[in-house]
């Protein structure tokens, strides 16, 4: 009996528990359903608010973009294109439609028609500035499109700028109000959720830990994710705008670079078989390349000479993978010869797809200059040969004159004196001692004159001082003898006490150069004072010959190569080269001349 009662009680309790359990489950289910309905509703509201806030923020960006486009069209752009005007119209239209949707609601965008009193007031306040900007921009676009009333555009731009700042400020207030109301909605939702949460906790605390709490956390994570997505969307929109501007700038730079290449470089792109893919404008003008010759190969466009065409085709065939650089001669359609410095560079566009980049430089003028230099070199060589012939003939002539002069001096001077000495010796009568003594005195004097004449002749041929004592002593002797013979004041100074002996060839050439310079000063310059100075360093011997003669124009004398004075200077330059020296001549007409010999030692 007790067992049955227990079973009945258990059944009742089980039923009650089952009722309670089902009631609890039903309550939790209802609570969850109600909670989910409320949550989904509020989430939709939040999504709508988030979208409204995003669109409102975008309105500020669009207004700034309109102002930027207006300023570019008015101040920056040199010419106003229809594309720019169309772009501004599109932005303006989007801005107007969005503002109208925000103000009056839009079902497709899920913008509510009903608004709070604060938002309605703010939209009323911003509407005059919005309308002013829209109307002024429309008027400005009309003026730009019709190109009339250009002077009024400045006032229109000022009106837009003036209202744009106020519009941005009001839109900031609207966005702030939307954000505040959205925050209030979230706060209200949180309060409802807490009430439901507490009610559910009173019913079944365990269900709260296993069901509601995870659900609550999931919802919170979802909200956080939505807010994060909103931030990412804003950042993505900003980055997209920046990337768009960078892309526009890159396109402009590429266009500028392409224009520069087309009009400055001689270049083209060809296939490995020699067919032309693209050719630059400057190169096309040089080769008279037109669309009618687009089916021709590169070699056929480059030259009309068949041999050159075969040579170019051979180079392309053999070097299309390794590249090539060299000079080629082409003949254009006008039969003009053009020289090109051509470089062929292989470029891989895609896998197993090869092109050849041809870059050329027109070196025709350089080739002409080289030929002109070669011609001038040949002329200079011919002129030098002729000069050498003249110099050689003059040297032979001078040698003959010198030999004739010496023969004349010996015949007229020494020969006559020896003849007189012979006759005087034969006429001496030793029996007449007085006359014999007189003749003997005369013969002594005559012998001295003969000795002096012999010494003078030998001195002119080869001064004994030069071989015995060196260049310093011989130059000193030379100046003394010439001073006595000419009656002019000729002085010699050894400024650095030079006493070295040099090679005999060097010494004789230094002696002859100095002798030639002094003789020129005596013969042509009509000078009364001549100074010869000798100085030296560790590596250089310098001899300076100064005179106070009438001087001369160096350039005029250089041009008169066939004259006696011009040949004299040329002999000096040729002789100084034999000993690796240099000669410097400075002369001022009416003041005198300075000749400097520098000889390495």
Any idea what the CATH number is for the domain that residue 288 is in? 3.30.450.20
Residues 165 and 274 in one domain: no
Residue 365 is predicted with a pLDDT of 86
Residue 127 tokens read as 């509407």
Residue where a domain stops, chosen among 362, 393, 419: 362
Query: Is residue 261 included in any domain, yes or no?
Result: no
Query: Is residue 321 included in any domain, yes or no?
Result: yes
Residues 491 and 563 in one domain: yes
Q: What digits encode the pLDDT tens for the residues 21-66?
A: 566 677 777 777 777 777 777 767 666 677 777 887 787 788 888 8
Residue 10 is predicted with a pLDDT of 43
Q: Report long-range pairs for 243-250 (Cβ below 8 Å, ≥24 apart).
A: none
Query: Is residue 519 included in any domain, yes or no?
Result: yes
Query: For the chain, which residues score pLDDT lower than 50?
Result: 1-3, 6-7, 9-14, 16-17, 396, 400
Residue where a domain stops, chosen among 255, 279, 299: 255
Residues 113 and 18 in one domain: yes
Residue 241 is predicted with a pLDDT of 82
Residue 559 is predicted with a pLDDT of 61
Domain range enclosing 202: 2-255
Residue 159 is predicted with a pLDDT of 83
Residue where a domain stops, chosen among 255, 288, 317: 255
Q: Give which of 228, 211, 210, 219 is closest to 190, Cα–Cα.
A: 219
Helix (H) or strand (E) holding 270: strand 266-270
Query: Is residue 194 included in any domain, yes or no?
Result: yes
Residues 128 and 105 in one domain: yes
- Cα(202)–Cα(518) distance, rounded to whole angstroms? 138
Query: Is residue 180 included in any domain, yes or no?
Result: yes
Our count of domains for the chain comes to 4
Residues 55 and 135 in one domain: yes
Q: Give which of 123, 238, 133, 97 is closest to 178, Cα–Cα.
A: 123
Residue 495 is predicted with a pLDDT of 94
Query: Is residue 212 included in any domain, yes or no?
Result: yes
Residues 338 and 411 in one domain: no
Residues 216 and 116 in one domain: yes
Q: What digits encode the pLDDT tens for the residues 417-441?
A: 677 666 677 677 777 777 777 777 8
Distance of CA 135 to the CA centre of its chain: 51
HSE-CB for 128 with a 13 A CA cutoff: 5
Q: What digits encode the pLDDT tens for the residues 112-163?
A: 777 788 888 888 888 888 888 888 888 888 877 776 656 677 888 888 888 8
Strand partners, 359: 267, 343
Residues 142 and 181 in one domain: yes
Burial of 383 (0-12, 13-18, 19+ CB in 10 A): exposed
Query: Is residue 260 included in any domain, yes or no?
Result: no
Strand partners, 345: 357
Residues 490 and 512 in one domain: yes
Residues 28 and 130 in one domain: yes
Query: Is residue 172 included in any domain, yes or no?
Result: yes
Residues 449 and 470 in one domain: no
Residues 39 and 108 in one domain: yes
Residue 108 is predicted with a pLDDT of 72
């Amino acid at each position: 009996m007790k067992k049955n009662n227990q079973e009945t009680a258990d059944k009742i309790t089980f039923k009650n528990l089952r009722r309670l359990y089902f009631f609890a489950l039903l309550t939790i289910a209802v609570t969850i359903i109600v909670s989910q309905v409320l949550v989904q509703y509020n989430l939709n509201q939040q999504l709508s608010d988030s979208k409204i806030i995003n669109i409102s923020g975008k309105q500020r960006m669009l207004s700034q973009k309109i102002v930027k486009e207006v300023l570019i069209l008015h101040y920056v752009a040199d010419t106003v294109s229809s594309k720019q005007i169309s772009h501004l119209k599109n932005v303006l239209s989007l801005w107007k439609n969005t503002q109208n949707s925000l103000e009056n609601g839009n079902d497709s965008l899920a913008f509510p028609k009903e608004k709070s009193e604060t938002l309605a007031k703010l939209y009323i306040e911003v509407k005059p500035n919005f309308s002013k900007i829209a109307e002024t921009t429309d008027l400005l676009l009309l003026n730009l499109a019709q190109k009339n009333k250009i002077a009024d555009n400045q006032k229109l731009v000022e009106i837009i700028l003036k209202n744009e700042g106020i519009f941005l400020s009001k839109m900031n207030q609207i966005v702030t109000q939307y954000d505040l109301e959205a925050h209030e909605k979230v706060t209200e939702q949180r309060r409802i959720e807490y009430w439901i949460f507490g009610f559910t906790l009173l019913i079944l605390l365990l269900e709260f830990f296993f069901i509601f709490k995870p659900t609550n956390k999931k919802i919170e994570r979802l909200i956080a994710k939505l807010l994060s997505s909103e931030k990412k969307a804003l950042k993505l929109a900003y980055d997209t705008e920046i990337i768009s501007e960078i892309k526009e700038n890159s396109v402009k730079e590429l266009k500028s670079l392409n224009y520069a290449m087309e009009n400055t470089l001689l270049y083209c792109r060809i296939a490995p078989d020699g067919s032309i893919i693209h050719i630059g404008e400057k190169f096309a003008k040089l080769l008279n390349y037109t669309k009618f010759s687009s089916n021709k190969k590169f070699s056929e466009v480059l030259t009309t000479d068949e041999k050159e065409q075969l040579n170019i085709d051979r180079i392309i065939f053999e070097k299309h993978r390794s590249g090539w650089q060299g000079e080629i001669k082409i003949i254009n359609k006008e039969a003009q010869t053009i020289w090109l410095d051509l470089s062929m560079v292989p470029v891989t566009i895609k896998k197993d797809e090869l092109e050849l980049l041809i870059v050329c430089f027109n070196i025709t003028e350089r080739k002409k200059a080289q030929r002109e230099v070669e011609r001038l070199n040949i002329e200079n060589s011919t002129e030098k040969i002729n000069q050498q012939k003249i110099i050689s003939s003059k040297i032979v002539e001078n040698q003959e004159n010198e030999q004739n002069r010496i023969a004349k001096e010996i015949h007229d001077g020494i020969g006559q004196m020896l003849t007189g000495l012979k006759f005087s010796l034969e006429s001496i009568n030793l029996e007449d001692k007085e006359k014999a003594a007189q003749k003997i005195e005369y013969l002594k004097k005559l012998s001295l004159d003969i000795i002096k004449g012999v010494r003078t002749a030998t001195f002119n041929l080869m001064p004994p001082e030069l071989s015995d004592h060196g260049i310093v002593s011989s130059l000193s002797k030379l100046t003394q003898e010439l001073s006595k013979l000419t009656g002019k004041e000729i002085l010699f100074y050894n400024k650095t006490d030079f006493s070295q002996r040099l090679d005999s060839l060097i010494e004789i050439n230094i002696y002859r150069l100095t002798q030639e310079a002094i003789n020129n000063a005596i013969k042509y310059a009509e000078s009364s004072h001549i100074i010869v100075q000798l100085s030296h360093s560790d590596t250089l011997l310098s001899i300076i010959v100064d005179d106070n003669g009438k001087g001369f124009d160096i350039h005029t004398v250089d041009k008169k190569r066939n004259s006696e004075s011009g040949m004299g200077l040329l002999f000096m330059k040729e002789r100084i080269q034999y000993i690796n020296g240099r000669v410097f001549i400075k002369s001022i007409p009416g003041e005198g001349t300075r000749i400097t010999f520098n000889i390495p030692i």
